[in-house]
Amino acid sequence: MGTLSLSDFMEVRIPVPWGHIAGRWYGNRKERPILAIHGWLDNLGTFDRLIPLLPDYIGVLCIDLPGHGKSSRIQPGMHYSVYDYIIIIPRVKKEYGWSKVSLMGHSLGGIISFLYTSLAPHTVDMVISLDIVRPMTPEPKKVIGRLVQTIEKHMVVEDRQEESNLHEPPSYIMSQLTEILAKGSSNSVPPELAKHLLHRQLSKSKLYPKKYYFARDGRVKFYHHTQMEPGLTEELSKRIKKKPYLIIKGSKSPMIGVLSERPLSILRENNPHFEFHVVEGGTHHVHLHAAEECARFIVPFIRRHRPPTLTSWSLTAKEQQLNAKENHRQQERFFERRKNNHSKL
pLDDT tens over the chain, length 345 residues: 699 999 999 999 999 999 999 999 999 999 999 999 999 999 999 999 999 999 999 999 999 999 999 999 999 888 888 999 999 999 999 999 999 999 999 999 999 999 999 999 999 999 999 999 998 766 666 767 767 777 777 677 777 776 666 578 889 999 999 999 999 999 999 999 999 999 999 999 999 989 999 999 988 988 877 678 889 999 999 999 999 999 999 999 999 999 899 999 999 999 999 999 999 999 999 999 999 999 999 999 999 999 998 665 554 454 445 444 555 565 556 456 555 554 544
Adjacent-strand bridge partners of 198: none
H runs (alpha helix) in 120-215: 140-164, 174-184, 195-198
CATH of the domain at 233: 3.40.50.1820
Tell me whether residue 181 is in a domain: no
How many domains is the chain partitioned into structurally?
2
* Nearest Cα residue to 32 out of 128, 124, 129: 124
Regarding whether 301 and 288 lie in a shared domain, the answer is yes
Tell me whether residue 201 is in a domain: no
Q: Which residues of 325-337 are buried (b: 16+ CB within 10 A; e: fewer)?
A: eeeeeeeeeeeee
Task: Give the pLDDT of residue 148.
Answer: 73
Tell me whether residue 195 is in a domain: no
Structural domain boundaries, residue 323 = 309-345
Task: Supply φ then ψ for residue 106, to 5 degrees.
Answer: -110, 130
This prediction has a pTM of: 0.86
Regarding whether 14 and 94 lie in a shared domain, the answer is yes
Angle 192-198-204 from CA coordinates, rounded to 5°: 125
Catalytic annotation, residues: 107
Q: What is the residue-wise DSSP string for 294-319?
A: HHHHHHHHHHHHSPPPTT-HHHHHHH
The alpha carbon torsion through 111, 126, 48, 319 (nearest 10 deg) reads -170
Q: In this structure, are residues 123 and 239 in contact, taking their beta carbons and an 8 Å threshold? A: no
Regarding whether 316 and 298 lie in a shared domain, the answer is no
Tell me whether residue 341 is in a domain: yes
Regarding whether 294 and 231 lie in a shared domain, the answer is yes
* Nearest Cα residue to 131 out of 303, 305, 297: 297
Tell me whether residue 281 is in a domain: yes
